[in-house]
Copies of this chain bind each other. A is one copy, B any other.
Amino acid sequence: MGVVSVKDVAALAGVSPGTVSNVLNRPDRVSGATIERVQWAIDRLGYVRNGAARQLRAGQSRSIGLVVLDVGNPFFGDLIRGAEDKAVTAGITVLVTDSRENTDRERTQVALFEEQRVRGVLLSPVVDARPSVERLRSRGIPVVLVDRALPDTSVSSVSVNDVAGGELAVRHLIEQGRRHIAFVGGPMSIRQVSDRLTGARKAVSEHNGVRFEVIDTPELSVPAGRHAVLDLLGRNASARPDAVFTANDLLALGVLQELILAGNLRVPEDVMLVGYDDIDFVQAAIVPLTSIRQPARLIGETAIDLLLSEADGDPGFAPRQVVYQPTLVKRASTASR
C-alpha cells in the first residue's frame, strides 16, 4: 500500500501517466470524460502529488523562505502575517524560521532554503547581510531584505528609517524638558540598534546641555531590560537619567517593570520612557508606553510584492529600496503632568 503514484492512478483510470499529469496541470487539454475518470481514480486511491518529484522537474518550488530574528517578538508576528496574506493570494506558501539573532543559525537556514530551491528568500539579517545575499544571488535566488537595507542599491529591501526613529524618540524627550537621557539597547552589532542610537545622538547634538549615556544590553528582551536598570537604581538623583529610550519595546517593558518593583522612581515623573516597535502590549502596560511605530504588516506585504516581481523576472526589473518612516505614538510614559 503506502505510496500511490501517477502510475497507479493511470493504471486504474486506464490512461497514461502523462494524461494524469495533464488532468492535474492543464485540464483544458484533456477531454471531459477522461478528466472525470482520472478524478475518480485519484479519489479512489487517495492520491497526493509528490512535491519533491514535481519540484525536481520544475526546477523551483512553490514556497518562499522567511528568516526572522525572533518569532516571539510581536513585531515579527505582524510582519509574518502581512507576508503570508500576500503570499497566499499568489498561491505561494511562506516557510518561517527563527534565527534567534544568531549568525550561525541564519547561515544554516539560508543554506536549507538554498537546498530546497525556494522561489525566493525574505531575510531579516542578524549582522552583515552581504554573505547570505551573495550566496543566494549567485544561485539566482531572489532576496529581499526586511527591516534592514544595504548601502548599495543592488538588492531590494523594505525597511524603516531607524535613524529617524531614534531622532523622533529623543527629540520628543528633549521637548518634554528632559536633559539627561539614557539609551538602553544592544548588541550594537544589530544594525537596527546602532541606527536608533545614531538617531538618538543626532537629536542630542542639536541641543546644548543635554547629557547622554548608553547602557549596553546583550539582547533585546524583557529580562535584559530589567537587568539594565539595576545600574541606575543605585545612583543619586543628580547622576541619574531623567529619561530612558530603549531599542525596542521588550526592553522598555523590562525597564518599566524593574522601576516599578524598585518603588522609589515614578514613570513619567522621575523617569520618562520611550520604547520602539509599538507592539500591542505597550498600551496595556502598567504605564502605557510612548513608542515608535513601524508598519510591520505593511513591511511584510511590500516585501512579498518585491520578491515576486523579482522572481517573475520582469525583464525591466530593477531592485527597489522601500523605506518607510516611523511615527511617534505618545502615551502616558512621557506625559508632562
* Chain A positions near chain B (C-beta within 8 angstroms): 2-3, 46, 48-56, 59, 61, 63, 71-74, 77-78, 80-81, 84, 88, 93-98, 100, 105, 109, 111-112, 114-117, 138-140, 222, 250, 253-254, 256-257, 280-281, 283-288
Q: Which residue in B3, B88, B109, B288 is a CB contact (below 8 Å) of A93?
A: B109
With A48-B115, A55-B52 as known contacts, state yes or no: A95 contacts B96, CB within 8 Å: yes
Which residues on the B side are within 8 Å of A96 (C-beta)? 71, 95-97
* CB closest chain-B residue, reference A76: B71
Q: Which residue in B50, B73, B74, B84 is a CB contact (below 8 Å) of A56?
A: B50
With A56-B56, A74-B74 as known contacts, state yes or no: A284 contacts B222, CB within 8 Å: yes
Which residues on the B side are within 8 Å of A88 (C-beta)? 105
One complex includes copies of this chain to the number of: 2
Q: Which residue in B80, B84, B98, B281 is a CB contact (below 8 Å) of A253?
A: B281
Question: Contact between A51 and B116 (Cβ–Cβ < 8 Å)?
Answer: yes
Which residues on the B side are within 8 Å of A50 (C-beta)? 56, 115, 117
* CB closest chain-B residue, reference A60: B52
* CB closest chain-B residue, reference A95: B95
Question: Contact between A61 and B71 (Cβ–Cβ < 8 Å)?
Answer: no
- Some 5 contacts from A to B, beta carbons below 8 A apart, are A46-B139, A50-B56, A51-B116, A73-B77, A96-B96
